Amino acid sequence: MKIYNTLTGKKEDFIPLEEGKVKIYVCGPTVYNLIHIGNARPMVIFDTVRRYFAYKGYDVTYVSNFTDIDDKIIKKANEDGSDAGEVATHFIEECNKDMDGLGIGKDMIHPLATQVIPEMIEMIQTLIDKGYAYESNGTVYYRVRKFKCYGKLSGKNIDDLEAGHRDIKVAGEDDKEDNLDFVLWKPKKEGEPAWPSPWSDGRPGWHIECSVMAKKYLGDSIDIHAGGEDLIFPHHENEIAQSEAANGVPFAKYWMHNGFLRIVNKEGEFEKMSKSLGNFLTVRDVSEKYPLEVLRFFMLGAHYRNPINFSDELMESAKNGLERIKTCLTRLEELGTKTGAEGMSEGEQEKIKEAEVFTKRFEDAMDDDFNTADAVASVFDFVKYINTNTDENSSVEYAKTLHDRLCELMGVLGLSTDTGSDELLDEEVDNLIQERNEARKNKDFVRADEIRDLLIEKGIILEDTRDGVRWKRK
């Protein structure tokens, strides 16, 4: 397996720090609004990376944080007349709903920045003790020039750099020793949440949060650190400076970064989507037009390091492609229940062996820096093979074997294999409602309740009116 390492600028063989185990940290969202589809891309991409490592037999520990204290969160709280904690809690809940819709796996750790304040203070003190940080009027700064390898991830020359960090200016900014130095701890302003520290009542800078959460949940050295390419500098560069100075060992062996998601502007040209430009679509916006599984499938249709253009036309294409796969699955399910022959014939056994090539192509694509575009192409080739090599005479075992193999590949991509084949038809709903009415007339309330529960389970909402029972789907 090869991974493109931003740190070295080339593809490298993946060799884990500990055999059979993979430790991954992915920078998560700052929760002051609904996540937009640009936020969703790294969530989808690196969840797929996690799934593939698990598919290959690795024991994966995956951490993706929520930044739940930030200037933007405080600003949102002030606008809403609430507090920062309430804003963060609300939008974390909303983000979790969107991640569920996107098929983001549950087998991961989602720490909050505010949960590790003591550990941040400890790391900052370590940096001070080692001479990498200093306090000035309650603010603690990192000495950038003290870290001799600064710029090794971004390729930036320290002599050409100006202060380019995201921290809002605070009291004491003019007391920095060097314009390049960035904030580790900032004193509170009136009305802001704050925590006690040896330097001031205040809160941490943005960069220290991820260094500490990665250390707490994964250790001093990790296999993979990932995020959007906009985080390479200054965020990830500063994480390296903090973590390696404090811990004395390399922070992350491999650095992975996904490309931007671009959206059409008023001039009809694609541009980077961001909240700062005001040209963003939230995941919730997209969910009003498409199942979020389609958005995931759309994102997997391009290599993660390439920029990806978002449009209704491309989403429609993804929707049609996903339906094509689901139709194949439905057909295999029908063959698996309606055919007479149970065991595979010799010819079918030979075709199953031939079909192994599609799994091999899928794995080759994923082994080559997680090329999901080619992996998806191999799935489409497999679907074509299935459609041309099955018919009403296919055996149950043959159909089921093909079905299970296709489902396995879909699972690696984080795509549902639910074809909706168990969804009730309108006629079936009407018949069940009629049966329920008869049961109620006959005082067979047990059966009436059974039917009601079945309809609810299938997403059917019943409404009793003067004209009888009406129903609709959720």
pLDDT reading at 338 higher than 80:
no
Strand 139-142, strand 133-136: pairing: antiparallel
CATH number (domain holding residue 392): 1.20.120.640
**Range of the structural domain that residue 82 is part of:** 2-272
Confidence band (pLDDT; 50, 70, 90) for 420?
low
- Greater model confidence, 218 or 434: 218
**Are 120 and 249 part of one and the same domain?**
yes
Looking at the domain assignment, is residue 189 inside a domain?
yes
- pLDDT at position 171, please? 39
- pLDDT at position 168, please? 36
Looking at the domain assignment, is residue 285 inside a domain?
no
- pLDDT at position 170, please? 38
- Cα 169 to chain center, whole Å? 31
Over residues 220-263, the pLDDT tens digits come to 999 999 999 999 999 999 999 999 999 999 999 999 999 999 98
Give me the helices (H) in 102-235, please: 117-129, 206-218
Domains contained in the chain, number: 3
**Are 446 and 370 part of one and the same domain?**
no
Query: Quick one: the chain helix, strand, coil %, rounded to 5?
Result: 50, 20, 35
What average pLDDT is seen over the chain? 91
Listed in sequence order, the residues at least 6 apart from 438 whose beta carbon sits closer than 8 Å to its beta carbon are: none
CATH number (domain holding residue 175): 3.40.50.620
Looking at the domain assignment, is residue 277 inside a domain?
no
What average pLDDT does range 208-217 have in this prediction?
98
pLDDT reading at 329 higher than 50:
yes
pLDDT reading at 269 higher than 90:
no
Confidence band (pLDDT; 50, 70, 90) for 18?
very high
The pTM for the full model equals: 0.85
- Greater model confidence, 107 or 129: 129
- pLDDT at position 167, please? 42
CB-side neighbour CA atoms (13 Å) of 462: 20
What average pLDDT does range 129-134 have in this prediction?
98
**Are 132 and 255 part of one and the same domain?**
yes
Over residues 361-374, the pLDDT tens digits come to 999 999 999 999 99
What average pLDDT does range 11-25 have in this prediction?
98
Over residues 133-188, the pLDDT tens digits come to 999 999 999 999 999 999 999 999 987 775 443 443 433 456 899 999 999 999 99
- Greater model confidence, 267 or 30: 30
Residue identified by tokens 């990498």 is 132
Residue where a domain terminates, one of 412, 434, 453: 412
- pLDDT at position 266, please? 73
Residue identified by tokens 């400890």 is 122
CA dihedral 459, 296, 376, 229 (to 10 degrees): -170
Listed in sequence order, the residues at least 6 apart from 376 whose beta carbon sits closer than 8 Å to its beta carbon are: 297, 300, 301, 321, 413
Contact 114/73 with Cβ under 8 angstroms?
A: no
pLDDT reading at 112 higher than 90:
yes
Looking at the domain assignment, is residue 293 inside a domain?
no
What is d(CA 256, CA 444) in angstroms, rounded to the nearest whole number?
62
**Are 127 and 258 part of one and the same domain?**
yes
Contact 258/275 with Cβ under 8 angstroms?
A: no
Looking at the domain assignment, is residue 100 inside a domain?
yes
